[in-house]
Structure 1
Amino acid sequence: MDSSTLASLPEERESTDQPQQQDQSLSAFASLPHRPPTQTSLQKYSPVDWLGYFDREDDICIPDSNDVFHVYMAGKEGPVVFCLHGGGYSGLSFALSAKIIKEKARVVAMDLRGHGKSTSENDLDLSIETMCNDVVAVVKAMYGDSPPAIVLVGHSMGGSVAVHVAARKAIPSLAGLVVVDVVEGTALASLIHMQKILSSRMQHFSSIEKAIEWSVRGGTLRNIDSARLSIPTTLKYNESKKCYIYRARLEETEQYWRGWYEGLSEKFLSSPVPKLLLLAGTDRLDRALTIGQMQGKFQMVVVRHTGHAIQEDVPEEFATLILNFISRNRIGPHGVEIPGLRRPFQSQPK
């Protein structure tokens, strides 16, 4: 993650820092007459329903507030892989991988505040404190005071939320932490470019199909099957402009961006649970993580031939890495004993 790829906040880096990919037929055979889009090309970018990937969806109402968080769920047994998406994405970012993970574990993918189908009293409050409170509140609302073993998985902005939640030790059954393609040093360095990236991306789409096509051709996502699932819930229809616009108003949340990433490496390294860092390139480790990795404080895997959204671009490989992490650390339905982390609902030995 360097300044040219800008892998932090808006998760839109490739579509703006690199020229938009051109259709090969247009560049190689420019003299040929333009052909109108066929029904097949429209179908190629048509939305796909989440059913068949997740098993069900639900709205989690938070007591004493007007906040309602949308979650997608899959699987019946095993630990809970609790997924937090990046800025501008939604819980459906994990749909393709959930179909595989649910064979051996449970999956919960949450639409964070200001994203997807979640609604809150203040959709623009994306402070790290508020988002952490949201996650803890959803876990408590779903599982009460005795939650099952939980593996927090966070992509980019969601990765920072996962790390901060783990650092709070607010989930008594936390059994693992997986961070996807976000590192403190390079994330902070790239923040200066974020507003430019957000303003440079395409803002309006005449149809959902056009938005899906743009995300794939522009390089934001490399897997068309995942784009057809995840892109629709990142949009909303604007009645006055008669077009689709982005659901998340990231450009209005700049005051919170630095708080997402400051101190992230140390919080990650000090979290007293098994840890996995998935990266799309080897140049993304900062000094603290490089030292920690050499000391064996966490497992790191570099996933080749993928963009920033590893879970979308290579869902099979992503799912396999998650399941191997669960197996390697013997994370079962009731969690594993983590030295130094006492679960408050367990009775003490006499």
Structure 2
Amino acid sequence: MAPTTTAVSRKIPVDCLRHSPCIELAYMEKGAGEVLICLHGLGGHALGWRHLMEELSPTYRVIAVDLRGHGQSGHRPEETLTIRALAEDILALMRGLAINEAHLCGHSLGGMIALEIFARRGFLVKSLILANTTAFFPPPQNLEEFLNHFDQLDMPAWARFMAPRLLRRGAPAALVEEVVETISATSRAAYRQGLIAAFQADYRWLLPLLDSPTLIVVGEDDQATPWSYARYLHHMSKNSALHLVPRAGHLAHQENPEEFNRLVRFHLEKGTKSGF
């Protein structure tokens, strides 16, 4: 495939064995070279990776995916959405695009999806970037209480509730509005099912088995997956580096893209070769 000079939006059919017609997965692509696949978090979309795409596309083939039920991707509300199903979507995309190896950059829920992909097809993973994420949500996280609150609000109201909890205090108004709009546009069924999937996930068993170079990134003001979660990921994985992004909350790649992009570039150019 010829390198793209501007980001190109495409769709690819996935989950065709169970569905007719297939579910379409939307993605953006730019650049050529080693492949970096970016996986957003719950309530996000591919456009959230635009800063990283612009930074790295001169030397890498960057693919940012809309997860099922997010952005322009399809979703069947009657189906249970699981991290395994989301990972299978990405594996189907890789097969469809003839990608035999890729760096995976996952934010929040996307980080859990990246871990699931490694668990299922580790030989496809050149390196991992785990951003503002966790291997599990420890007690006293209360899923039932969270879902009860979610069920009482429509998506725009939920988005207004969540935005200040995802962003650092004093985040630019334009970024706050972008986050609100993105969450509001997410499929309600997909979001609710994603909440359940994230709260029930547990990848602690996998961390000691991570042999791909791994960059762990967390915003200094992250309330959703704080420093202690990132430190645990680092402590339990043998081939990782841990970095704090200043002036950022849970959306470090959007709140401080300059520092986030610098860390990712260093990881891709140095960390994956030196093994830290």
Q: Which residue of 2 aligns with 1:275?
A: 214
Q: Which residue of 2 aligns with 1:89?
A: 44
Q: Is the 8 A contact 1:155 1:181 kept in 2?
A: yes
Alignment of 1:166-245 (within 5 A): 166-169=118-121, 172-186=123-137, 189-192=140-143, 193-195=145-147, 198-199=150-151, 203-204=155-156, 218=164, 220-221=166-167, 222-224=171-173, 232-236=181-185
Change (3 A) 1:230 1:154: same
Give me the whole-angstrom Cα distance separating, in 2, the residues matched to 1:127 and 1:300: 28
When the two structures are superposed, what TM-score results if normalisation uses the length of structure 1? 0.63
Unaligned runs of 5+ in 1: 1-52, 206-210, 237-245, 339-350
Alignment of 1:128-143 (within 5 A): 128-143=83-98
Aligned-pair CA distance for 1:96 = 2.0
Q: Is the 8 A contact 2:230 2:242 kept in 1?
A: no
Q: Deviations over 1:7-29 (max 9, x none)?
A: xxxxxxxxxxxxxxxxxxxxxxx
Q: Is the 8 A contact 1:57 1:73 kept in 2?
A: yes
Q: Aligned pair 1:104/2:104, yes or no?
A: no
Identity %: 19
When the two structures are superposed, what TM-score results if normalisation uses the length of structure 2? 0.78
Q: Deviations over 1:38-95 (max 9, x none)?
A: xxxxxxxxxxxxxxx96110011124442100001111x2211101111111111211
Aligned-pair CA distance for 1:255 = 4.6
Q: Which residue of 2 aligns with 1:312?
A: 254
Q: Over aligned residues, Cα RMSD in angstroms?
A: 3.4
Of the three residues 229, 238, 247, the one matched with 1:285 is: 229
Alignment of 1:1-350 (within 5 A): 55-62=7-14, 63-64=16-17, 65=19, 66-75=22-31, 77-122=32-77, 124-143=79-98, 147=99, 149-169=101-121, 172-186=123-137, 189-192=140-143, 193-195=145-147, 198-199=150-151, 203-204=155-156, 218=164, 220-221=166-167, 222-224=171-173, 232-236=181-185, 246-249=186-189, 250-252=191-193, 255-259=196-200, 261-262=201-202, 264-281=203-220, 283-285=227-229, 289=233, 291-292=235-236, 296-330=238-272
Q: Deviations over 1:241-285 (max 9, x none)?
A: xxxxx43432355553444x31x2332331221111111247423
Give me the whole-angstrom Cα distance separating, in 1, the residues matched to 2:268 and 2:194: 35
Structure with larger Rg: 1
Q: Is the 8 A contact 1:183 1:284 kept in 2?
A: no
User: Of Structure 1 and Structure 2, which has the larger fraction of its residues in strand?
Assistant: 2
Instruction: Give, as a single letter, the amino acid of the residue that structure 1 aligns with 2:94.
Output: V
User: Of Structure 1 and Structure 2, which has the larger fraction of its residues in helix?
Assistant: 2
Give me the whole-angstrom Cα distance separating, in 2, the residues matched to 1:292 and 1:270: 9
Q: Deviations over 1:96-117 (max 9, x none)?
A: 2211121221211111111111
Unaligned runs of 5+ in 2: 221-225
Instruction: Give, as a single letter, the amino acid of the residue that structure 2 aligns with 1:247.
Output: S
